[in-house]
Structure 1
C-alpha cells in the first residue's frame, strides 16, 4: 500500500502547512507548533517502509527510541483516517490509512550545525552535551554484538557505496590508499575490538549523532532523530556513537570543541582501554559522509575533505606524555584544556586530572567537596598511582596524555618520566608559576570546580613545595594567551 497523496496529507493542516521538509525516506510537515513526520512507502537496501504496518511500527519505534533523549519533542504517533467523502482526517474511522509521528516544533536555527556556523556554540554547551551523551550511553540497553562485526558491516556498506559512485567521483588512488590503511588499522585493533562486548561497551545507541541532530531546546542541547529503522546500525560501540559528533566537529575545523567533547565524555565514562579505537571510528564516520557527499557534483569538494579527514585520522602522530604541574591556583587545568587539542590525534590528548581521579576514588561527584581528612599522604599516593596506570593504558593505545596535578614531589615526577621511557614516548614537564597573591585570589574565587584547594592549602604549598630543576617554567600569572604561548613554545 502506498501512502496517501502528499497534497491530501498537507490538507490536514489548514489552511496549509508552513513548510514541508523532504528527505529520501520521509516528509515532515511543519504546522503551527507541531511537526508531523511521514514515512515514505519506500523499500531500500537499508530501510523498508513499503507497507502500512511497517510504517506504523517504524513510527512507534521512532517515538519510543527518541524519547530516551528528547521526550519533550516526541509527542506520539497519530493515525490518519479517510472520511466518507474521501478526505483525510484525524477523526477515527474504520481503519487507519497512514501514520504520522507527532513532534513539538522547534526553531530550526537552533540545531548545532547552524549555531556553530554562527559562532554561537560555547564550550559550556559542548561540555553539557558530552555529559548528557555519556549519561545516555550509560543507560542505553546493552546488545549482544561484537564490535568487530559492527566494524565489518560498516566497512562493507561503505565499500558497496563507494563502488556504486560515478566514475571519477573520488580520486581512485586516494580511496585505495585509505582502504588499505583502514584494513591495517582494523587488524591492529583486533584484540581491543574483541573485548568491547564483554566490557559492556556495545549498546543500542543513537546511531546518527551529528550536529544537525542536536538542538538547543530550553537552553539545553537535546539529541533527536536517532537511527530507528535498523537495530543493527544502532547496535554500536558507544565510542563509535560518540565518534560521529567528534568527526563532525573536526570536519567543521573545530578540533578544540572535539577535544573538549571527548574529555568531558571520558570524565563521565572513562574508556582508557578503548580510546585506541578512536582513529578507526572517526575514519569510518568520515567515510560514510564521504560517499554520501560524493553522490552529487555539488558535494564533491566536501567528499574530498571527508576522505582527507578519514585518512588523516588513521595517521596520528606518536603518543606523548605531558605533565602540567604547579601550585593550586596556577591554572593547570585551564592550560591543559588549551594544550590538549594540538597534542596527538585525531581529537587531541586525553586529560587526566588528579582532582577528578581523587573524587572518583572516593565515589563522589566531581563537584562535591571532600572532607579534609581525605587528603592524606596515602590518599595522594593512590591518586598518583591511578594517574600513572591510566596513562599507561592510554599511551599503549596510541593516545597522547596530559597529566594535570601538582607534582610537588620528586618521586611523583620521576615515576611519570619512568613511564614515558618504558612506553618509548616523549615526556615534558611544565611547571606553572604565579605570585602568591594571585594564587590565593584565584583559589578564593573558584566556583563549581573539582578542586578542593583553599587559601590555606596554597600558603602551605608556598612554604613546602619547590620548583623542579628539570621542568620547563611557564609564567601563569599574567595573560592566559601568553601563558599558552609559552607552554606551546616549551613543547615545540
Structure 2
C-alpha cells in the first residue's frame, strides 16, 4: 500500500466514486492499475515507458484511454463506457467532480470474472458450440476489420522482424531465470530462419488482404461468455501490435488454449474459423505466430519480476508461468508433424463431418469442407443456402470439378507446411476419389479414405434436424437422399489398405483410435 502513488491509494476508497460502491479491489498489471467496484471497472494506465509503449505523460495517457474506448467498442460496445477524469480538490480526490485534473481512467461495465473463458475452462463449462460461436465472432470481426495500404505495410517481413528481434533483445536479461540459454537460441534461430526463408509467403498474406487492424491481445482472460460473447482489452498503445496478420491474432488464443491443456478446443477453434473465412493460407504461418505469441506471453510474465510489490511466493509463481510459456514456444519448434491426407466418402447424413471433427481434434488436422469451398467459389456466405435440383447449378459436374481442384490446391499448401489435412465431403463418384488418389500419389503424401455409413432411419433423422441448425453449412437435405443414394458409387476401387469403414451409429471413439493407428502404419 505504501508503494502506491497517492491517487492510486485514493481510488481504493469507495468515497472517491460518485455511486459509493461497497468495496474496491485493485488488480495490477505491468502497465495498468485496475479497480473493480462491483458495477464498474476503472482502468488507470501506469506512467511507464517500456519502449513499445509510452504512458509517461498525462496527455499520452488521456489519448490512449480514448483509443482504448474507440477500439474496444468494435467487439464490446456495451462494455466500454467513457474516459473519466480523476481530480483533486484540496486534499480530496474525486471522479468527475471539480478540482485539478490529476489522472484519467477508462470506465467499463464490470463483467463477472467467473465468466472468462479461462475460468470456464477450469470449471469444465466450455462446450464445442461455445468455441464455434467464438470462432464465428472472430471471423466476422477480422473480415470487417480495417485494412489499408498503410496497415498492410506492417505485414512486411522487415516490420515483422522488428517485433521478433525486439522480443529477443528484451528477454536477454531473463536467460537463466525464466528461459534457458538453449531454448532462447533455438527459438531465435527458428524465428529468424522462418522469416528469411518465407518472404514470398508473407508477401502473399499482404496481397490477400490479411493484414488488418486486429485485436492484438486475444487470449482466454480477455474473452467473456455472459449474455453474449465479449472480447475485451484490445491493444491500443501501439499500432505495430494491432496492425497484424489475422493469423497472428488467431494464433494467440490457439496458443493459449494449448497452454491451458485444451488442444482439442484450439483445433476446433481453428477449423471453425477457417470454415467461415476460407483463409486456409493462414495455416502456413500459424506455427510461426504461435511461437511468437507464446514467447510474448513469456516475456510479459518476465516483466512482472521487475515490478515492486510481489512476495517471494508470488515471484516464484510468476517465474513458473513465464517459463511454461517459453517451454510451449520451444515445443512448437520441436514438434514434428507429418503430412497425411484423409478424405471422407459416404452419402449425405452419414456422419462424415462429425467423424472429421472428432479425428481432426485428435491428430491436429486441418479440415477443408467441400460445402464451404463450394459456397466460397459461388460467392455465397457459408450459411447461405442455394437449394438446386440434384446435380445442377453449383452441384453440376463442371462446378464440382472446380470445387475439388480448389480443395486439392488448398490441401497441398497445408500438407507442405507439415500438417495433416482432412477433405470433408461426399466424394460420391469414382472420378472424384481418383483425383484425390492421383494427387496423393504424385505428391507422395500418405492417404486414407474414411467411408462413413449409417442406417437409413438414422440418416433421415439427422437430415431432418440439420435444417434447424442455425449455422449449418450443408445443402444436403432429406428430399435429395433417395437420388443421392442411387447415384452414389461405392468405393470398391480403393485399395483396402487405404480405406477404413466407419458405421457412425457405433462407437466413434473406438474408430478414431483405430484410424490413428492406421495413420502411423501407412
- Alignment TM-score, normalising by the size of structure 1: 0.92
Does 1:289 pair with 2:297? yes
Counterparts in 2 of 1:234 and 1:402: CA distance versus 1, 3 Å: same
Other structure's SS at 2:206 match? coil
After superposition, the C-alpha distances for 1:78-107 in whole angstroms (9 at most, x for unaligned) are 112333x33223455465222111100110
CA distance in 1, matches of 2:169, 2:368: 40
- State the match for 2:244 in structure 1: 236
- State the match for 1:141 in structure 2: 146
Does 1:324 pair with 2:344? yes
Does 1:250 pair with 2:258? yes
Does 1:190 pair with 2:202? no
CA distance in 1, matches of 2:97, 2:322: 47
Other structure's SS at 1:196 match? helix
- TM-superposed CA distance for 1:61, in Å, is 1.0
CA distance in 2, matches of 1:91, 1:246: 40
Which consecutive residues of structure 2, in runs of 5 or more, have no partner in the other structure?
306-314
- TM-superposed CA distance for 1:57, in Å, is 0.7
Select which of 413, 416, 423 maps to 2:433.
413
Which one is further off, 382-391 or 428-437?
382-391
- State the match for 2:308 in structure 1: none
CA distance in 2, matches of 1:55, 1:293: 23
- State the match for 1:97 in structure 2: 102
CA distance in 2, matches of 1:23, 1:427: 49
**8 Å Cα contact 1:146-1:202 kept in structure 2:** yes
CA distance in 2, matches of 1:35, 1:277: 37
After superposition, the C-alpha distances for 1:230-274 in whole angstroms (9 at most, x for unaligned) are 111222111001100000011112111111111111122222334
Other structure's SS at 2:235 match? coil
**8 Å Cα contact 1:56-1:99 kept in structure 2:** yes
Counterparts in 2 of 1:17 and 1:266: CA distance versus 1, 3 Å: same
- State the match for 2:116 in structure 1: 111
Select which of 40, 48, 61 maps to 1:42.
48
After superposition, the C-alpha distances for 1:133-174 in whole angstroms (9 at most, x for unaligned) are 121112222213234234312322221232111635422223
- TM-superposed CA distance for 1:109, in Å, is 0.9
Alignment of 1:165-314 (within 5 A): 165=174, 167-218=176-227, 220-294=228-302, 295=305, 296-314=315-333
- State the match for 2:513 in structure 1: 485
CA distance in 2, matches of 1:250, 1:68: 27
- Alignment TM-score, normalising by the size of structure 2: 0.87
Does 1:125 pair with 2:130? yes
- State the match for 2:310 in structure 1: none
Does 1:358 pair with 2:374? yes
Counterparts in 2 of 1:180 and 1:7: CA distance versus 1, 3 Å: closer
CA distance in 1, matches of 2:179, 2:163: 19
Alignment of 1:381-396 (within 5 A): 381-396=401-416
Other structure's SS at 2:82 match? strand
Root-mean-square deviation (Å): 2.3
Counterparts in 2 of 1:221 and 1:331: CA distance versus 1, 3 Å: same
After superposition, the C-alpha distances for 1:175-214 in whole angstroms (9 at most, x for unaligned) are 3233223333223322101232232211221111110011
**8 Å Cα contact 1:147-1:202 kept in structure 2:** no
Does 1:423 pair with 2:443? yes
Other structure's SS at 1:5 match? helix
- TM-superposed CA distance for 1:363, in Å, is 2.8
When the two structures are aligned, how many residues end up with a matched partner? 485
- State the match for 2:356 in structure 1: 336
Counterparts in 2 of 1:240 and 1:75: CA distance versus 1, 3 Å: same
- TM-superposed CA distance for 1:477, in Å, is 2.7
- State the match for 1:466 in structure 2: 489
Does 1:152 pair with 2:154? no
Which one is further off, 422-431 or 354-363?
354-363
- State the match for 1:60 in structure 2: 66
Counterparts in 2 of 1:306 and 1:97: CA distance versus 1, 3 Å: closer
CA distance in 2, matches of 1:395, 1:187: 21
